[in-house]
Structure 1
């Protein structure tokens, strides 16, 4: 998930979104069996913690309603005057 986020700037929606060669490569780097990826529980609360940690590593945060309002205002001023 860390590498996916680094490349895509978002999290994968499911395990199938991450290609097997990428899983195998990262598994080799961290010395765990690639098959362990299949057991990752996408509905478990740990995934929320992992996402928070990954966002922190890249200095990202979830957008807020204020962020969305500022973006809308910027779009109106800069792109659609």
Structure 2
């Protein structure tokens, strides 16, 4: 009759947009040598990430995802 929440996995908590933005910042270091890539993320995470003044270090195409919880995914752009 019930399922575990796919967002919080039953904890009752989700990662904040700030924590997700910092995680994104760390992960982008692995993509420094790529010509360009696409980051799909929620608007909240993008707003926080842009506030970190790190966006100018990367050639990134952004796509806003319509998700309830802070989220991002990195894809190589061809």
Same fold (TM over 0.5): no
Higher relative helix content: 1
Q: Bigger radius of gyration, 1 or 2?
A: 1
How high is the TM-score relative to the length of structure 1? Answer: 0.24
Is the strand fraction higher in 1 or 2?
2
